[in-house]
């Protein structure tokens, strides 16, 4: 009866000696491995395993069975007589007999469960690989960010240095330029030929232009690296100030037609020099980019609560893409410049001056109505 | 750093020389339970767990450091420095025989002699060399390790990590026997079975006792004989034993061979 139970058990059973030699194996064991009981007896249990299993047996299983007296749920691949793998779960127990120690082994087939476990294992390995990838990417990103901020800091330092240099150079250029203007003024007073007058006129006009550029540069550097542009606001007659400015601009741009329109009545409290500078820059801009045969209109408008000045010209439309950056430094309306063109700071300074007066500048440009810059104070 | 905690160091016995027992791949110092007691009356006995095994501090496991056997050799020298007295004889099982060799090369002269149990300088066959394994066998082992956590789960990790060093073999140590965090076990398997220490062995001048099992899958006869050939100062002792752990399955034979070899250092007290 007990032999029947042993042979017909729903699992493979074996008894081995301490060194793994099989002393007894049940029919199920024979059936699973395709070896008869006689063939099994005398062979070592570990020799029926795959190579990985045999190493594992030597390094883990055998020492564990000896020291702890039992092992449970160890998964092993056994080799069938025909070479295919049989995946089993092994439980083992040490039993002391009178003359020797034996191990009772029970094996359970686990092929389907093994497939599932392998899928789980693969999923875990995949997750770990992805995590590793993610970590590596994050590290790379951090490094890139660090490099970027370093590059940004370097660029900042360079920009500051360049702007400071511009400030120093433009300041230093003022003195020789003043000397040139004084000398040409002095020469004008003497008796000159027509040709000489013409040449002196060129010198005066050119040094006037250079002076405006330097003034722009100084304002620019003051706005950027200094404490900002400063103003001295006082009550003034805006219409008169603009009229005077337009008169002076007519001398500076003799070929252009400048018209002044004064609208409304009211008070204004502004820095007269700076208002003149705004009009100067806007008119220079219109002369440079507007239609030369059409008049440029300068409007001063006074109201109860606010005042504004506007400069209008006909001519090519300012591209929509350019409008957004028009008031940034070094921006130009077009590459086709005229001789009156400045370094590209004029509109930037207009905006800074408008803002320091608590106002702002706006532009509208279309083919029918032309281009209008409006500064509201 | 607390070495005692990191490597779960235990110190026993009395003597003028120190035996340092270093376990092999897969287990912990509990495997010395059958052999070490035979020496406590004449030697100071130091046992420890390799980092990643047994009750060592798992948080000390640094993938890069333990990516080669040199990291383990460095630990061994630190343990010798801190716990050994007098001449040091290293008793290394399996991979620990090579860890001992590397430790000797790192600090020449510090280790007076080596007892190598089932040593192998290279497991994979090579031109004119029989290690006993093919590369695919090692991959098969890694696969088997993957399928067997042997009761290890992340839930029990804190217990192992938090355990203070125990001098004697505790239930805890018995419990942790052959249990290792799977990732650590796999890396150690790779480092162990893919290592090639043939160049490190050549030139080892300290006396060596090679304890070779008569039937050992992991360290076949050819490997023991190879080592005996390249180590001029070696004694070769064939132990009648099946399996890779003669110190567990044939401890008396191992102890007898060791007693003979260790006689020059076995002085208890000069006073």
Q: What is the pLDDT of residue A85?
A: 92
Among residues A78, A109, A140, which one ends one of the domains? Answer: A109
B130 within domain boundaries: yes
A369 within domain boundaries: yes
Mutate to test the interface with A, among B217, B239, B248 (most CBs of A within 10 A): B217
Cα of A167 to nearest chain B Cα, Å: 56
Is the minimum CB–CB distance between B248 and chain A shorter than 8 Å?
A: yes
Q: How many domains, in total, are found in chain A?
A: 3
Q: What is the pLDDT of residue A335?
A: 52
One domain for residues A28 and A102: yes
Helix H segments across chain A? 2-8, 27-33, 37-40, 51-56, 62-68, 111-189, 194-224, 238-252, 272-289, 320-323, 346-356
Residues of B in contact with A115 (CB under 8 A): none
CA–CA separation, A150 and A143 (whole Å): 11
Residue-by-residue pLDDT tens, chain B, 271 positions? 799 999 999 999 999 999 999 999 988 999 999 999 999 999 999 999 999 998 899 899 999 999 999 999 999 999 999 999 999 999 999 999 999 999 999 999 999 999 999 999 999 999 999 999 999 999 888 888 877 754 444 433 333 333 333 333 456 666 667 777 778 888 999 999 999 999 999 989 999 999 999 999 999 999 999 999 999 999 999 999 999 999 999 999 999 999 999 999 987 555 4
**Which CATH number fits the domain that encloses residue A303?**
3.30.565.10
Which of A20, A64, A117 is nearest residue B177 as measured by Cβ atoms? Answer: A64
Is A67 in contact with B174 (Cβ distance < 8 A)? yes
Q: Which of B10, B94, B96, B234 is catalytic?
A: B94
Chain B, nearest residue to A101 by Cα: B249
Q: How many domains, in total, are found in chain B?
A: 1
Structural domain including A162 reads 124-224
CA–CA separation, A116 and A78 (whole Å): 18
One domain for residues A141 and A212: yes
B270 within domain boundaries: no
One domain for residues A215 and A241: no
Regarding an ipTM greater than 0.90, the answer is: no
Is A72 in contact with B248 (Cβ distance < 8 A)? no
One domain for residues A178 and A291: no
Q: Any catalytic annotation for residue B22?
A: no
Is the minimum CB–CB distance between A198 and chain B shorter than 8 Å?
A: no
DSSP string, B136-191: HHHHHHHHHHHH--TT--GGGHHHHHHPPP-SS--HHHHHHTT---HHHHHHHHHH
State the Cα angle at A265 between A259 and A268, rounded to 5°.
Answer: 90
Q: Are B165 and B5 in contact (CB under 8 A)?
A: yes
Q: Which of B49, B213, B216, B247 is catalytic?
A: B216
CA–CA separation, B215 and B222 (whole Å): 11
A374 closest CA partner among A366, A365, A362? A362
**pTM reported for the whole predicted model:** 0.65
Cα of B208 to nearest chain A Cα, Å: 23
**Which CATH number fits the domain that encloses residue A162?**
1.10.287
A309 has which bridge partners? A300, A375
Burial class (CB within 10 angstroms; exposed 0-12, middle 13-18, buried 19+) of A203: middle
Structural domain including B91 reads 3-265
Cα of B44 to nearest chain A Cα, Å: 24
Q: Any catalytic annotation for residue B146?
A: no
Is A67 in contact with B31 (Cβ distance < 8 A)? yes
Chain A, nearest residue to B175 by Cα: A68
A119 within domain boundaries: no
One domain for residues A96 and A11: yes
**Which CATH number fits the domain that encloses residue A102?**
3.30.450.20
Residues of A in contact with B217 (CB under 8 A): 46, 54-55, 58
Which of A63, A75, A76 is nearest residue B31 as measured by Cβ atoms? Answer: A63
Which of A18, A68, A75 is nearest residue B148 as measured by Cβ atoms? Answer: A75
Which of A19, A60, A117 is nearest residue B242 as measured by Cβ atoms? Answer: A19
Residues of B in contact with A18 (CB under 8 A): 249
A116 within domain boundaries: no
Q: What is the pLDDT of residue A38?
A: 92
Among residues A195, A224, A253, which one ends one of the domains? Answer: A224
Q: Any catalytic annotation for residue B244?
A: yes
A286 within domain boundaries: yes
Which of B133, B193, B248 is nearest residue A66 as measured by Cβ atoms? Answer: B248
B21's tokens? 């027992």
One domain for residues A250 and A337: yes
**Phi–psi pair at A15, nearest 5 degrees:** -120, 130
Q: Which residue has the tokens 């500076």?
A: A252
Helix H segments across chain B? 3-6, 69-83, 95-106, 135-147, 157-162, 171-176, 182-193, 198-201, 221-230, 246-249, 251-262
Q: CA separation (Å) from A349 to A213, A228, A355, B134, B168?
A: 11, 11, 10, 80, 85
One domain for residues A11 and A104: yes
One domain for residues A246 and A335: yes
Residue-by-residue pLDDT tens, chain A, 377 positions? 588 899 889 999 999 999 999 999 999 999 999 999 999 999 999 999 999 999 999 998 899 888 888 888 889 999 999 999 999 999 999 999 988 999 999 999 988 888 888 888 889 889 989 999 999 999 999 999 999 999 999 999 998 888 888 878 877 888 888 888 888 888 888 888 999 888 888 888 888 888 888 888 888 777 776 677 878 888 888 899 899 889 888 877 888 888 999 898 888 888 888 888 889 889 988 888 888 888 999 999 988 778 899 999 998 888 888 887 888 876 665 555 444 455 577 888 888 888 888 889 989 888 888 899 999 98
3-class secondary structure, A279: helix
A351 has which bridge partners? none
B271 within domain boundaries: no
């Amino acid at each position: 009866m007990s032999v029947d139970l042993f042979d017909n058990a729903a699992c493979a059973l074996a008894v081995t000696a301490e060194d793994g030699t099989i002393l007894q194996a049940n029919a199920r064991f024979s059936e699973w491995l395709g070896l008869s009981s006689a063939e099994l007896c005398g062979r070592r249990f570990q020799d029926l395993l795959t190579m990985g299993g045999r190493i594992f047996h030597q390094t883990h299983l055998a020492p564990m069975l000896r020291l702890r007296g039992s092992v449970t749920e160890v998964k092993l691949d056994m080799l069938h007589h025909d070479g295919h793998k049989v995946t089993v779960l092994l439980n083992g127990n040490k039993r002391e007999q009178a003359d020797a120690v034996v191990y009772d082994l029970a094996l359970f087939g686990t092929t389907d469960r093994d497939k599932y476990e392998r899928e789980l294992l693969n999923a875990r390995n995949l997750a770990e690989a992805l995590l590793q990838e993610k970590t590596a990417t994050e590290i790379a990103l951090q490094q890139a960010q660090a490099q970027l901020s370093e590059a940004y800091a370097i660029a900042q330092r360079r920009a500051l240095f360049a702007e400071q240099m511009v400030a120093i150079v433009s300041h230093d250029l003022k003195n020789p330029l003043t000397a040139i203007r004084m000398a040409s003024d002095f020469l004008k007073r003497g008796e000159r030929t027509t040709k000489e007058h013409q040449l002196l006129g060129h010198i005066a006009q050119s040094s006037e232009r250079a002076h405006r550029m330097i003034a722009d540069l100084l304002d620019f550097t003051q706005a950027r690296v200094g404490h900002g542009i400063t103003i001295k606001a006082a009550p003034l007659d805006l219409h008169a100030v603009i009229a005077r400015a337009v008169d002076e601009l007519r001398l500076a741009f003799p070929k252009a037609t400048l018209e002044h329109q004064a609208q409304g009545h009211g008070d204004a409290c502004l820095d007269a020099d700076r208002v003149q500078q705004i009009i100067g820059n806007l008119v220079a801009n219109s002369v440079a980019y507007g239609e030369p045969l059409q008049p440029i209109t300068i409007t001063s408008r006074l109201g109860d609560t606010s005042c504004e000045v506007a400069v209008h010209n006909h001519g090519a439309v300012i591209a929509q893409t350019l409008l957004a950056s028009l008031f940034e430094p070094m921006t130009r309306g077009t590459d086709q410049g005229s001789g009156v063109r400045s370094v590209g700071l004029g509109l930037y300074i207009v905006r800074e001056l408008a803002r320091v007066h608590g106002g702002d500048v706006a532009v509208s440009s279309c083919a029918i109505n032309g281009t209008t810059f409006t500064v509201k104070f | 750093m607390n070495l005692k905690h990191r490597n779960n160091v235990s110190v026993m016995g009395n003597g003028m020389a120190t035996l340092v027992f270093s376990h092999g791949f897969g287990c912990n110092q509990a495997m010395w339970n059958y052999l070490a007691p035979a020496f406590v009356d004449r030697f100071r006995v130091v046992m420890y767990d390799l980092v990643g095994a047994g009750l060592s501090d798992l948080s000390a496991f640094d993938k890069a450091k333990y990516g080669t056997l040199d990291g383990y050799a460095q630990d061994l020298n630190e343990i010798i420095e801190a716990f050994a007295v007098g001449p040091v004889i290293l008793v290394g099982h399996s991979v620990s025989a090579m860890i001992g060799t590397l430790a000797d090369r790192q600090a020449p002269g510090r280790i007076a002699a080596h007892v190598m149990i089932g040593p192998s300088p290279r497991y994979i066959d090579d031109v004119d060399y029989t290690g006993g394994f093919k590369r695919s066998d090692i991959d098969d082992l890694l696969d088997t390790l993957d399928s067997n956590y042997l009761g290890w789960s992340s839930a029990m990790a804190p217990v192992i990590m938090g355990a203070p060093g125990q001098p004697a073999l505790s239930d805890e140590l018995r419990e942790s026997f052959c249990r290792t965090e799977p990732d650590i076990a796999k890396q150690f398997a790779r480092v162990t079975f893919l290592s090639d220490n043939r160049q490190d062995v050549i030139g080892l001048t300290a006396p060596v006792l090679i304890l070779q099992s008569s039937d050992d899958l992991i360290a076949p006869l050819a490997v023991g004989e190879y080592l005996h050939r390249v180590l001029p100062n070696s004694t070769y002792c064939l132990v009648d034993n099946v399996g890779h752990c003669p110190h567990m399955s044939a401890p008396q034979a191992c102890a007898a061979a060791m007693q003979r070899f260790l006689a020059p250092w076995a002085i208890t007290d000069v006073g």
